[in-house]
Structure 1
């Protein structure tokens, strides 16, 4: 699949996957991607962690190129951080010939992504009555079971991603009162039906 322009999506390689595969690091990165620049102390409060832990893991994320300083926000000794990319892409090919350490990092990363997506959906279900009626009439939680070959499944996934990319910048002005960040989760995997 082609990379979106301007480094919006980062493909994970073996080194970066090892640097990211920690639940707190993944939460910190998501907090910066979705909440904007912040300090270690602000993130510690938001995530219920110590500022020492958040500081350490922020430095690790920076060392692996996921985040960088945001000096335009800081004053004095405050160190502000911001996300470098808008999203991440994991490709199983990174595991070709991988040892147990890398496979373990990949498993941790993938399970944490699944847990985060489940939390996102559960949060929406719990909070949806606080949203305007327009949003309560336009959300989706659906599933479909199809009989496909691996090639057809790959084609479907690529078409779904292309469709999402078409909408990525349709509303770019955050001051638009009718807009909100909309989370899109896609899953495609084989199941046993016996």
Structure 2
């Protein structure tokens, strides 16, 4: 069966660098709030600029953030969150840090979704959103095919929308930063069910 390959996977050094609490908060702020300079990020998080500047360089070193050259003026550097995936299997050296990262990402995703569900927004955005849970019986190959097709749809739409950051920063009334949370995974097997052997 073909392995699914989406965003680049983090290596163990990047995972360890990412697991720092302030770096996780900074990445979340860039993901949710969009690109920022070290100074603006420090203001958002209640930190000092020296701290955010240092940690941005560490995140950049591991490919977790990247400079957004479309927004900078002169020596001003704007940073945006990069896309990546966590390894599907941790080795012994990364199992603890992998668990920390997955937990932090899950908590941040749940908090973001909870805020949307609690606060809502204008009717056109509420009507455009979707919260859905579906359960089906599939083979591993069918699940891989489903995930691949969904990823292709997400990629097609996000690729078509790339390059809009400056327009959003300028105050576009029709654009918003959106989040797609998608998980396609097998449920725990019922202990009473026949084994897969």
Q: Please tell me the TM-score bracket, short chain as reference.
A: 0.7 to 0.9
Verify the 8 A CA contact 2:30 2:36 in the aligned structure 1: yes
Verify the 8 A CA contact 1:67 1:81 in the aligned structure 2: no
Structure 1 residues 32, 74: CA separation in 2 closer, same or farther (over 3 Å shift)?
farther
- Between the aligned partners of 2:100 and 2:65, the Cα distance in structure 1 is 20
CA shift, 1:120, in A, is: 1.1
CA shift, 1:22, in A, is: 2.6
- Between the aligned partners of 1:29 and 1:192, the Cα distance in structure 2 is 31
Partner in structure 1 of residue 100 of structure 2: 108
Partner in structure 1 of residue 144 of structure 2: 154
Partner in structure 2 of residue 82 of structure 1: 79
Output the aligned Cα RMSD.
Answer: 2.8
Partner in structure 2 of residue 91 of structure 1: 87
Verify the 8 A CA contact 2:64 2:84 in the aligned structure 1: no
CA shift, 1:37, in A, is: 2.7
- Between the aligned partners of 1:54 and 1:82, the Cα distance in structure 2 is 11
CA shift, 1:46, in A, is: 1.2
Kindly provide the CA deviation profile for residues 106-151 of structure 1, in whole angstroms up to 9, marking residues without a partner as x: 11111111111101101212321xx321112121111011122222
Normalised TM-score (structure 1): 0.75
Partner in structure 2 of residue 140 of structure 1: 130
Partner in structure 1 of residue 176 of structure 2: 180
Partner in structure 2 of residue 6 of structure 1: none
How many residues align? The count is: 178
- Between the aligned partners of 1:65 and 1:166, the Cα distance in structure 2 is 23
- Between the aligned partners of 2:55 and 2:182, the Cα distance in structure 1 is 28
Partner in structure 1 of residue 34 of structure 2: 35
Deviation larger for 66-75 or 157-166: 66-75
- Between the aligned partners of 1:147 and 1:141, the Cα distance in structure 2 is 21
Partner in structure 2 of residue 123 of structure 1: 115
Structure 1, unaligned stretches of length 5 or more?
Answer: 4-8
